[in-house]
Amino acid sequence: MKNWVIKLENVTISYRLDKSVARKSNVSRIFTPLDGIDMHVQDGEFLSISGPNGSGKTSLLKVMSGIMNPFKGKVHRKVSNFGFVSQSQVLLPELTLRENILLPFFLANETHYSDISYIKNCDEQEIHEKLMANVKRFNIQSIIDKSPRTCSVGQQQRALLTRALMMDCDVIFADEPEQNLDSDGRIELFKSFQEANRIYGKTIVLVTQEHPDVLKRYVSRCVKIKGNEIIEFFSRAS
Ligand SMILES: Nc1ncnc2c1ncn2[C@@H]1O[C@H](COP(=O)(O)OP(=O)(O)OP(=O)(O)O)[C@@H](O)[C@H]1O
Ligand SMILES: [Mg+2]
């Protein structure tokens, strides 16, 4: 195996259902969408994960990033700074896109987040230059001082990607960020992720429902969840 940054060894993901719900539906209290999974994320790759609804894609991202512990098995991580681009609207509508993107830096002055070295080590000029370079690259410069309420979903997704890049994270996790976009918007977003991967060298794990023929143009490796298995069906190197 090449240079991995995250490795899952015999990982089982389970949820403990509420007693009354389990009794009512006459099902076991423990629900296990994924059982005994082995997989890895390589350093610098753009990995896509596909699979049917409910197959465990979001759960897999949560376990990879440490938001959730596996029920069984081991998750090894060589990196710890993660960025997230989700499908839901997570930008604060009271703030502009610029303020949303820079929120972690504002917080750094106020709270214990100032312990995070990559925030502490940035000066204002550096932050401004980095912001401008990113917003230009992702074509959101004209709306940077608007509220997310007045921006399209694609623009908001690119703002989230910009924030992840500003934070200098090692791995960016994206959970079906294309879901509310039309086909042009999806292509634009995939291109932005490809740039984040190729130009900024970010490792990207993208959960997506996009068609494999489209995906293969942008990602370096594709895996899919089939039943209880993770199957690799495309790798640029192979
Ligand atoms: N908190 C929870 N409690 C109980 N069951 C859960 C919980 N979260 C998810 N599940 C179940 O685990 C399974 C996997 O969920 P997950 O959200 O990971 O699927 P997914 O592949 O991301 O689905 P989708 O394509 O709809 O986003 C689903 O059957 C879901 O109902
Ligand atoms: Mg999901």
Do 221 and 141 sit in the same domain of this protein?
Answer: no
Q: What is the mean pLDDT of residues 136-155?
A: 92
Do 164 and 64 sit in the same domain of this protein?
Answer: no
Q: How far is the CA of 115 from the centre of ligand 2 (A)?
A: 32
**Residue 125 confidence (pLDDT):** 85
Is the pLDDT higher at 111 or at 145?
A: 145
**Residue 140 confidence (pLDDT):** 94
Q: What is the mean pLDDT of residues 29-42?
A: 95
207, with CB counted inside 10 A (0-12, 13-18, 19+), is: buried
**Residue 86 confidence (pLDDT):** 82
Q: What is the pTM of this model?
A: 0.90
Do 98 and 141 sit in the same domain of this protein?
Answer: yes
Question: Measuring from atom 4 of ligand 1, which residue has the nearest CA?
Answer: 15
**Residue 109 confidence (pLDDT):** 66
Is 55 a pocket residue for ligand 1 (Cβ < 6 Å)? yes
Q: How far is the CA of 217 from the centre of ligand 2 (A)?
A: 23
3-state DSSP call for residue 236? coil
Give residue 124's pLDDT band: very low, low, confident or very high (50, 70, 90): confident
Do 135 and 37 sit in the same domain of this protein?
Answer: no
Do 67 and 98 sit in the same domain of this protein?
Answer: no
Is the pLDDT higher at 184 or at 124?
A: 184
Nearest-ligand number for the alpha carbon of 53: 1
Please, how many CA atoms are within 13 Å of residue 169, restricted to the half-sphere of its CB?
A: 22
Is the pLDDT higher at 29 or at 150?
A: 150
Q: Check whether 171 has a pLDDT greater than 70.
A: yes
Residue-number span of the structural domain to which 48 is assigned: 4-22+29-81+213-235
**Mean pLDDT rounded to a whole number for the chain:** 89
**Residue 230 confidence (pLDDT):** 96
Per the CB < 8 A criterion, the answer to whether 222 and 50 are in contact is yes
Is 50 a pocket residue for ligand 1 (Cβ < 6 Å)? no
Q: Check whether 163 has a pLDDT greater than 60.
A: yes
What contacts 20, CB < 8 A, 6 or more positions away?
A: none
Amino acid, single-letter form, for residue 125? Q
Q: How far is the CA of 42 from the centre of ligand 2 (A)?
A: 22
What confidence tens digit (pLDDT) does each residue in 55-86 have? Answer: 999 999 999 999 999 999 999 999 988 999 98
Q: For the chain, what is the domain count?
A: 2
Q: Which of 12, 14, 15, 178 to mutate to test the pocket of ligand 1 (most atoms within 8 A of CB)?
A: 15
Can you tell me the distance from the alpha carbon of 61 to that of 11, in angstroms, rounded to the nearest whole number?
12
Which atom of ligand 1 approaches the CA of 31 most closely?
5
Is the pLDDT higher at 157 or at 219?
A: 219
Domain CATH number, residue 225: 3.40.50.300
